[in-house]
Amino acid sequence: MKKLIFLSCCILTSLTLSAQKEAFRIYTAKGKKVRYNKMLRDMSRSQLVFLGELHNDPIAHWMQLEITKDLHKKEDLVLGAEMFEADNQEEVSQYLEKKIDKKALDSLARLWPNYPTDYAPLLNYARDNKLKFIATNIPRRYANMVYKGGFEVLDSLSDQEKSWMAPLPMAFDPDLPTYRKILEMMGGHGSQTLVMAQSTKDATMAHFILENMKNNAVFVHYNGAYHSDFYEGIVWYIKQARPELEIVTFSTVLQDDISKLKEEHEGKADYILVVDEDMTRTY
């Protein structure tokens, strides 16, 4: 009788588990399902980790925070993000040092609309744990200038303005597949200066990452996945300057079926977070 009860419990447990729906899975670049802790060990052995997100995906934002917390249990960290522009570094630093509060930060810095839900937890973690947090992106107004007039418009800027971006002249390879894809997605309506503007962001983020890396610490960078997918974008600029750095990349994609990584996503990053496409968006 006891064996029958035990067997019945096992069957019920099995049925319950099989009926659960997964919201996400993590895969390697080759499409092999991987455990979170294995990925975390790999990241902890690196010098630089790119956590590529879909800006409105709640699972990606949750995963960024969890990875940051878990890495910090083992390693010293420096954090940085696309979502903060270099000319707002002073305000970010003042917030981290508790010289200003969140209301003042909101007034003084250009925060993204989804900052309260998606990026405040990361910045607050840095604040609570006395970690450096670097505003790595070029101020948007200068990227827009390049979009309208090409790289040469940057030459007329003041020394102060130039300090908020990668040193001039910036390297540029228009033949990188991710840049070519931008133009393809525009359906013939894109221009070379559009890709140049994108490259000013990638070059600047790479510049401030390299400038703020510390020995014996892992630099964790938060950015839109397209800035580091296929080891291009920011990663390309990093590799031009420091090819020896040990880098781990992480990307986020949506699929209608998360049970297998689609072929189009293979090789996109070292680790790929596959989220059910029905997941609620943050905006």
Domain-wise residue ranges, the chain: 41-56+76-250
Determine the longest span between alpha carbons in the chain, in angstroms.
Answer: 87
CA–CA distance, 267 with 140 (Å, rounded to integer): 30
Give the helix/strand (H/E) hosting 274: strand 271-276
Query: Which residues, 6+ apart, have CB-to-CB distance to 240 below 8 Å?
Result: 171
**pLDDT, tens digit, 9 for 90 and up, residues 87-134:** 999 999 999 999 999 999 999 999 999 999 999 999 999 999 999 999
Give the model's pLDDT for residue 21: 85
* Residue 16 pLDDT: 45
Q: What is the mean pLDDT of residues 210-231?
A: 98
What is residue 126's predicted lDDT score, i.e. its pLDDT? Answer: 98
35-80: pLDDT as tens digits: 999 999 999 999 999 999 999 999 999 999 999 999 999 999 999 9
Q: Where are the alpha helices (DSSP H) in the chain?
A: 2-19, 36-44, 58-72, 89-96, 102-108, 120-128, 140-149, 159-162, 177-185, 192-212, 234-241
User: Which pLDDT score, from 0 to 100, does residue 214 have?
Assistant: 96
Domain spanning 41-56+76-250, CATH class? alpha beta
Residue located via tokens 């221009």: 191
- pTM equals 0.92
Q: For the residues 154-172, what does the mean pLDDT come to?
A: 98
